[in-house]
Amino acid sequence: MRIALVGGTGELGEGLALRLGRDTGFELTIGSRDQRKASECAEAYRRELRRHDVDRRMDAATNESAAAEATVVVLSVPPYYVTETVEAIEPALDSETVLVSPAVGMSGHDDGVRYNPPPAGSVTELVVETAPDDVPVVGAFANVPGARIANLDERIEIDTPVVGDSSAAKEVVIDVVSELDGIRAVDAGPLSNAAAVEAITPFLITLAQQNEGFVDLGVKFV
C-alpha cells in the first residue's frame, strides 16, 4: 500500500515520513506543489533514515501525482490551504482513496492559542465538503507533535484520536498507525466529533506556552 504525504515537505510531513519510513514497509511518496522541493525533502528524509540504519526508498512527486498513486493521502498542509489543495488533487481521488486530514485551525493570543474552526465546523468537515462525495475522509494526527516525532532519537508514547463516518476508512488509518512505534490511533467516533478532536491541539499548545517544562505535548488515554 502506498501513502502520499501531500505537503510532506513541512513539519508534520517530515515527522510522519521519518516514522513511517523507519517503522513500516508502506511505499511512501513525499508530495509538494514543487517537484524539486519534494525530491530534495525525500532525499533529506532518506539521509536521516540512513543515519538510523534504515535504507529505504522514498518517492517524490507533485501533490497531484503523489495522490494519484496512493491509497492513503495525508493532507499535511496549513488549514487555510486545505480547500485549494483538495481541489488541486481532486482528479487523483476516488472511492478507493482514504483522505486524511490532520489540520487544525488556530489563532494565537496573548493568553494562549485558541481553536479557530472554519464555518464547516472543523477542518475535517471542510475537507468532506470539498472532496468528491465518494471519497472517504478521516481526521487523524491533529494532535501529533510534528517536531517531536521528527526526532527519531526520541521515544514517544502518544495517542491520536481518529474520526470519520466510514468505519472501513478509519480502520485503514488505525492499521497504518498501529505499525508506528509509540503512536496509537484510537477510534474517536463519527465526523461530528472532529471539532472536539481538533480542539485538543490548541489546548496542548496553550498548556506548553503557559507552563514551564511543557514542550510539544501529546495526549495518552489511559
Half-sphere exposure of 181 (CA within 13 A, CB side): 15
**Contacts for 152-157 with beta carbons within 8 Å, 24 or more apart?**
152/18, 152/19, 152/22, 152/48, 152/49, 152/52, 155/181, 155/182, 156/181, 156/182, 156/183, 156/218, 157/182, 157/218, 157/220
The candidate with the shortest Cα–Cα distance to 29, out of 38, 153, 37, is: 38
The binder of ligand NAP chosen from 18, 20, 28, 79 (CB under 6 A): 79
Half-sphere exposure of 176 (CA within 13 A, CB side): 28
Nearest distance from residue 94's CB to ligand NAP, in Å?
A: 21
Grid cell listed for 53: 540504519
Q: Should residue 81 be labelled a site residue for ligand NAP when binding is judged by CB under 6 A?
A: yes
Q: Should residue 121 be labelled a site residue for ligand NAP when binding is judged by CB under 6 A?
A: no
Q: Should residue 13 be labelled a site residue for ligand NAP when binding is judged by CB under 6 A?
A: yes
Q: Should residue 146 be labelled a site residue for ligand NAP when binding is judged by CB under 6 A?
A: yes
**Which residue, 103 or 185, is less far from ligand NAP as judged by CB?**
103
**Which residue, 3 or 77, is less far from ligand NAP as judged by CB?**
77
**Which residue, 34 or 95, is less far from ligand NAP as judged by CB?**
34
The binder of ligand NAP chosen from 17, 66, 131, 142 (CB under 6 A): 142
Q: Should residue 161 be labelled a site residue for ligand NAP when binding is judged by CB under 6 A?
A: no
Grid cell listed for 197: 478532536
Grid cell listed for 155: 521515544
Residue whose entry in the numeric block shows the C-alpha cell 479557530:
116
Site string for ligand NAP, 19-58 (x = CB under 6 A): -------------xxx--x---------------------
SS3 42: helix
Q: Which stretch binds ligand NAP (CB under 6 A): 109-117, 143-151, 162-170, 182-190?
A: 143-151
Residues in touch with ligand NAP (CB under 6 A): 7, 9-13, 32-34, 37, 76-79, 81, 84-85, 102-104, 141-142, 144-147
